[in-house]
Amino acid sequence: MLQAHLHPDWEAASRRHEDIDRSVEWLSRLIPPGSSILDLGCGPGLYTERLATLGYDVTGLDISRRSIAYAQEHDRQSQYLYKNYLELDYTEAFDMITLIYCDYGALTQSERHALLGKVHRALKPGGLFIMDVFTHQTIRSKQDSTSWSAQPDGGFWHTEPHICLEAAYYYEDHTVEARQTVAVTANELHQYLIWNTVYTRETLAAEVLPWGFQVDSVYDDSCGSPYTGEADTLCFVLRK
């Protein structure tokens, strides 16, 4: 996973690094240097390090011990916390909070509600929450399916040679996707289940507004591309 984050051209765990550069440039136009930023699910610090270099007071938080260790080693300017963002416990502490690369839709409904409440509390009055999600565009033409592949040299799901069994299922009027992967090595079996809820501008707004946010602006992605409603992602700038 760390290798996937760090590869400049892979989109498996983080966006391509040239997109991260564009994203950071856009984020830096939303608040002035010196402002405090909390990056939820910061991974190995690809955004945080760039933001710290631009003069922001940055905190990155991730549940991956390995990613946090890498970030701490490579970026001495930001503060990094090995922590579950569902246990966030700040009050009016940050000017901006980011949750980037569509992590929001991977949460259950109760987790999403809990997170929205905690993010709202953690923001200073007027603070911004930047979050992106996948849209219907990404799964519209997909059907329930199963497949398998041989990975003789290892791959994304396991470094050792393995057989990869994959399945995808669609629920809730084709708005929720479950992708199941089983990696079978010579000695072990590893199973992964990834949920993804997709949104429209309207369904995302309906979900976030009750938590006290205002929708400040809407974009096609977390690089600030103008909203068309036709992109694979949707990015909200929410204001407390």
Ligand X SMILES: C[S@@+](CC[C@H](N)C(=O)[O-])C[C@H]1O[C@@H](n2cnc3c(N)ncnc32)[C@H](O)[C@@H]1O
Query: Least distance from C-beta 180 to ligand X, angstroms?
Result: 18
**Other Cβ atoms closer than 10 A to 176:** 16
3-class SS of residue 138: helix
What single letter denotes the amino acid at residue 234?
L
Q: For the CB of residue 173, give the shortest distance to ligand X in the complex, in Å.
A: 25
61-69, 132-140, 205-213, 224-232 -> range binding ligand X (CB under 6 A): 61-69
86 binding ligand X? (CB under 6 A): yes
Site size toward ligand X (CB under 6 A) is 18
Residue 227: other Cβ atoms inside 10 A: 15
CB of 125 to ligand X, least distance (A): 25
Asked if 221 is part of the footprint of ligand X (rule: CB under 6 A), the reply reads: no
Query: On the CB side of 107, how many CA atoms lie within 13 Å of its CA?
Result: 19
Q: Does 60 bind ligand X (CB under 6 A)?
A: no
CB contact burial 28-61 (16+ within 10 A = b; e otherwise): bebeeeebbbbbbbbbbbbbbbbbbeeebbbbbb
Pick one of 35, 59, 67, 196: the residue that binds ligand X (CB under 6 A).
Answer: 67
Closest approach of ligand X to the CB of residue 42, in Å: 6
CB of 150 to ligand X, least distance (A): 26
Residue closer to ligand X (CB basis): 59 or 64: 64
Site for ligand X in 87-146 (CB under 6 A): 100-101, 103
Q: What are phi and psi of 223, to 5 degrees?
A: -105, 0
CA dist., res. 123 & res. 133, Å (int):
20
Token readout for 137 is 């565009």
Residue with the CB atom nearest ligand X in the bound state: 41
- Give the C-alpha distances (Å, rounded to integers) separating 83 from 89, 132, 175: 11, 21, 29
**Residue placing its CB nearer to ligand X in the complex, 72 or 163:** 72
Rounded least distance, CB 57 to ligand X, Å: 18
- 46 lines the binding site for ligand X (CB under 6 A): yes
Nearest residue (CB) to ligand X, 107 versus 208: 107
Residue 14 touches ligand X, criterion: CB under 6 A: yes
Report the sign of the C-alpha dihedral through residues 37, 41, 43, 46, in that order: negative
Instruction: Tell me which residues touch ligand X (CB under 6 A).
Output: 5, 13-14, 41-43, 46, 61-64, 67, 84-86, 100-101, 103
